[in-house]
Amino acid sequence: MRTKNLFKSVLFLRIVLLFGLFIILLIGGFTYQHISNLTDSTKIVISTYDVNVELEHINSYLSDAESGHRKYTLTKDALYLVPYIDARENINNSILKLKKLTIENAIQQKNLAVLNNLIDKLFTNFSKTDVLVKNDEINTESFKSRLFEEKIILDSIRRQVKEITDLENKLLDDRQKDYQSDLRFTPLFFYLILLVTLVIIIIAFSKINTNLIKIKAQNDQLLIFKESTNQSEIIGKHGNWVWHIDSNIFTYSDNLYRLLGEEPQSFEANFDNFLKFVHPEDVDRLSKELDNMIEVEELPFVSYRIVQKDGTIKHLKAYAKAFYSTDGQKRLLGITSNITDEIENFLELEERNLELERNNKELSAFNYAASHDLQEPLRKIQTFVSRLEEKEADKFSDSGHQYLERIKSASARMRALIDDLLQFSRTNKPDKEFVIADLNELFENAKQDVAITILEKKAQIKSDNLPKAKVIAFQMQQLFLNLLSNSLKYSKKETYPVINMNYSKVKATDEPHLLKATKDQYHKITFTDNGIGFDQKYAEKIFDLFNRLHNKQEYSGTGIGLSICKKIIENHKGFIFAKGEINAGSVFTIYLPFS
Amino acid sequence: MQNDYIHLILADDDEDDRLFFTDAFSELKMNTRVNTFNDGVELMNYLNKEDALMPNVLFLDLNMPKKTGIECLIEIKANTKMSGIAIVIYSTSASEEDIEKTFVLGANIYIKKPGDFKKLKKVLSEVVSINWQYHTNSLNKDNFLLRL
C-alpha cells in the first residue's frame, strides 16, 4: 500500500517536472521571439536614420553642386567646377546606398527612382547652361530659361527628398511604437519565467521532501522489521532466501548460513553452493523441486537433509512462494526451516507408540488367553460337581451337601469373573467397527438377554425413543445390558424394580458435566432406578476394575460390569457418570457424541 | 444310513471331555455308537483308511496337539469321500474368531462345551436328533452357534 503511494508520488513528481519544463520552454520561445523582434526594430530604426542621413547628404551635395556651378558661371573659372563634378559622383553613391537601405520598401524605391530622374535632369540642365556660359550668351533669353528651369528642378528635388524623409519618418514612428511595446512586454516575460520556474521548484522540493520523510520512516520500519526477522529466524531456527528468477541472483539471510553451520554471508549465495551442503541422496530430488518452483506459484513443503562441514546431518524443510516486484520481476521468496528436532521427536514418539501398541497387544492376548485357559479346568470342576450331585448325592451327609453347594457357588462366581474378564478384554481390542445402528434395537436385544430376571423380579422398564447413532453395535448392546443388569441386581428386595431410560439431545455448553467435551452436541441417555443406590462418594470408584461396594453374599457381582461400561463409552469418545443415594436409587448418565 | 444306529465320532485330546461325552451318550440311551480319538492325527488316520466306517456326525475339538480341529476340518472338506459328514465343532471357547472361521470352512454347527452335565446331555441329544438335511440347507451364521 505504502509503496504504491510512493510510486504514485514519483509519477506525480515526474508529471510536474515535465509540465514545468514544457512551460519554461514555451516561455523561452516567446522570449526569444520578443528579443529577436526587438533586434529587428532596432535595425529598422538605424536604417531609417541612415536613410535620413543619406538624404541630408544628397541635399548638401546638391547645394555644393549648385553653388560650385554658380561660381563657375560667374567667374568662368574651371576651378569651381571641381566640387560640382565631385558632387555628381557623391550623389550617385548616396542614391545607391539609399536603394540598398530601402530595398524592402517598394514605395521608397519608386520615390528614389523619381529623385534620381530629377537629379539627372538637373545635371543635364547644368550641362546645357555650361554650353551657354562658354559661348558668353549669359544674358540671353535661353540662359534665363535655363536658370528658371534649374530652380524648378531643384524645388522638385527638395520636395521629393522631403517626401522620402517624411515617409521614412512616418515608418520610423510606427516602428518606434512597436519597439516600445516590445520593450514593455519583455521584462514581464522574464518575470513570468522566473515565477513559474520558482513555483515548479517549490512544488518539486516539497514533494521530494515529504517523500523523503516517508521513505525515512519506512526505512526505519524496515530496519526494525529486518532486525526482528533476524531475531525470529534465530529463535525459530529458520532462514529465508530470495531468488530473482529473471537475473538468476540469490540472496540468503544470515540465519540460512547458520542453519548450514556456516558464518553469515561466508560464501556466494547461489544454488550450486547450496547444493554442496545437501545430502547426496536428496540432491536430485531437491533440484527437481526447485525446477518445479519456477513453474508453480506456490509449492508444498519440501523436506531434505543437509550435511554440515563437521558431518552433522540436519533435516530441513523449505517452502516457497512466487511474488512480483513493482517492476514486474518474478521472484521466489522461500523459507527454510530446521526441523531436525521435530523429526527426531516424531521418530521417538513413533517408536514409543509402536512399543505401546506391542505392549497393549501382548496384554490383550495375555488377558484373553488367561481367561480362556482358565475356563477349561473350571468347566470340568463344574461338570464333575454336577455329576457328583446327580449320581452320588444320596451318599452325602448334610454338611457334604453344604460343601457341594459352596463349591457350586464358588465355581459359578469364578465362571462369572472369567466371562466378564473375557468381555472386558474384548472391549479393549482395537478392531472397532463403527456402524449406524438403531439404539432402540440394541436396547431391546439387551432387554431380551435379561428377560428372565425381569420376569422374576417383576421389574418395570420404561424407555424413551432412542435415535440412530454411529456406534460399535455389540459394545453398545453390552453397555445397555450391563446397565440393566446392574439396576436389576442392586434392586431393593422389598420393592419391584423400576428402571427409567430417558433420552435427550443436548449441547455440551449446557451440561455442567461436559467440561472436557470436544464435540458441540451429545446424545444424553440416563438410566434411573429405584434400587439400593450407593454413597455419592463412591461415584467414581464404582467404574474401577474389580471394585465392589457390597459383599459377595449380599449381591453377586464381579466388579467388572461397570468398568466395561466405562471402557465402551471411552471407545465411543463419550462420557459416563453415576449419581447415587443410599436406599433411594442410582442414576447413570451417558453422553455419546452426536455425529 | 444303512445302519440302525447312529455312528458318532469325537476327536478330543482331553480325557475328561471324552469321558463326559461317552457317559452322556450311555445315559441318553439313543442307540448310538461312539468312537473317540485322542487327536487330529489319529482321527484322520482312521478316516483315511479304505474300510473306515464313516460317522454320521463328527464332533471336533479345536484345540488339539499335532493336528488341530481346524486342520482336520479343512482336510475333510477337501476329501469328497468325507465331505458329506455332518461336522459339529465342540470347543471350550466360543470366540467370534473361531466361530467365524469354522463357519466359513463349512462346519455344520458349533457347540460350546457346557459346565453342567445335564446341559451337556441336552445339547448332545439335540444335536444328534437334528434333521441334518434341513439344518444344512437353512444354515446361517445366526443359528450356527447352538444356544441353549
Q: Do B115 and A390 touch (CB under 8 A)?
A: no
CATH number for B48 = 3.40.50.2300
Are residues A524 and A449 located together in one domain of the fold? yes
Grid cell 430417558 is found at: A502
- The H-or-E segment that residue A590 falls in is strand A585-593
pLDDT tens for A485-538 read 889 888 888 889 999 999 988 888 887 777 777 788 888 999 999 988 888 888
Question: pLDDT value at position B2?
Answer: 53
The answer to whether residue B36 is domain-embedded is yes
Are residues A24 and A111 located together in one domain of the fold? yes
Question: pLDDT value at position B138?
Answer: 66
- Please indicate if any CB of chain A lies within 8 Å of the CB of B26: no
The answer to whether residue B1 is domain-embedded is no
Q: What is the mean pLDDT of residues B86-95?
A: 86
CATH number for A478 = 3.30.565.10
Are residues A252 and A362 located together in one domain of the fold? no
Q: Do B93 and A375 touch (CB under 8 A)?
A: yes
A368 chain-B contacts, CB cut-off 8 A: 95
To the nearest whole angstrom, how far is the Cα of A271 from the nearest Cα of chain B? 59
- Please indicate if any CB of chain B lies within 8 Å of the CB of A448: no
Domain boundary, last residue among A207, A227, A260: A207
Question: pLDDT value at position A431?
Answer: 64
How many domains, chain A?
Answer: 4
Burial of A135 from C-beta contacts in 10 A (0-12 / 13-18 / 19+):
exposed
pLDDT tens for A269-303 read 888 888 888 998 888 888 888 777 777 766 678 88
CB atoms near residue A223 (< 10 Å): 10
Domain boundary, last residue among A309, A338, A367: A338
- Please indicate if any CB of chain B lies within 8 Å of the CB of A411: yes
pLDDT, greater one: A222 or A539 = A222
Are residues A60 and A176 located together in one domain of the fold? yes
The residue length of chain B stands at 148
- Please indicate if any CB of chain B lies within 8 Å of the CB of A433: no
Helix axes A473-489, A561-571, angle to 10 degrees: 150
Q: Give the three cell numbers for residue B14.
A: 482331553
- Supply the range of the domain harboring residue B95: 6-144
The answer to whether residue B14 is domain-embedded is yes
Question: pLDDT value at position A1?
Answer: 45
Contacts 24+ apart (CB under 8 A), B102-108: B102/B62, B102/B69, B102/B70, B102/B73, B103/B141, B103/B144, B105/B70, B105/B73, B105/B74, B105/B77, B106/B73, B106/B77, B107/B60, B107/B73, B107/B144, B108/B132, B108/B135, B108/B136, B108/B139
Are residues A185 and A288 located together in one domain of the fold? no
Q: How many CB pairs under 8 A join A and B?
A: 35
Highest mean pLDDT among A468-477, B2-11, B13-22: B13-22
Are residues A481 and A566 located together in one domain of the fold? yes
The answer to whether residue A349 is domain-embedded is no
The residue length of chain A stands at 595
The answer to whether residue B94 is domain-embedded is yes
- Please indicate if any CB of chain B lies within 8 Å of the CB of A375: yes
Q: Do A415 and B115 touch (CB under 8 A)?
A: yes
Are residues A457 and A440 located together in one domain of the fold? yes
The pLDDT of residue B1 is above 70: no
The answer to whether residue B95 is domain-embedded is yes
How many domains, chain B?
Answer: 1
Q: Do B115 and A372 touch (CB under 8 A)?
A: no
The answer to whether residue A529 is domain-embedded is yes
pLDDT tens for A385-405 read 988 888 888 888 888 888 888
pLDDT, greater one: A220 or B66 = A220
The answer to whether residue B22 is domain-embedded is yes
- Please indicate if any CB of chain B lies within 8 Å of the CB of A536: no
CA distance A299 to A278: 19
Taking alpha carbons only, the member of A486, A582, A482, A478 closest to residue A534 is A582
Of A217-226, A581-590, B129-138, which range is least confident?
B129-138
Percent of chain A with pLDDT over 70: 95
Question: pLDDT value at position A551?
Answer: 65
- The H-or-E segment that residue A281 falls in is none
Taking alpha carbons only, the member of A431, A432, A434, A430 closest to residue A357 is A430
For residue B73, the Cα-to-chain-centroid distance in whole angstroms is 10
The answer to whether residue B111 is domain-embedded is yes
The answer to whether residue A232 is domain-embedded is no
pLDDT tens for A348-378 read 999 999 999 888 888 877 777 776 778 888 8
The pLDDT of residue B89 is above 70: yes
Q: Which of B14, B20, B63 to mutate to probe the A interface, most A CBs <10 Å?
A: B20
- Supply the range of the domain harboring residue A182: 2-207
Domain boundary, last residue among A157, A191, A207: A207
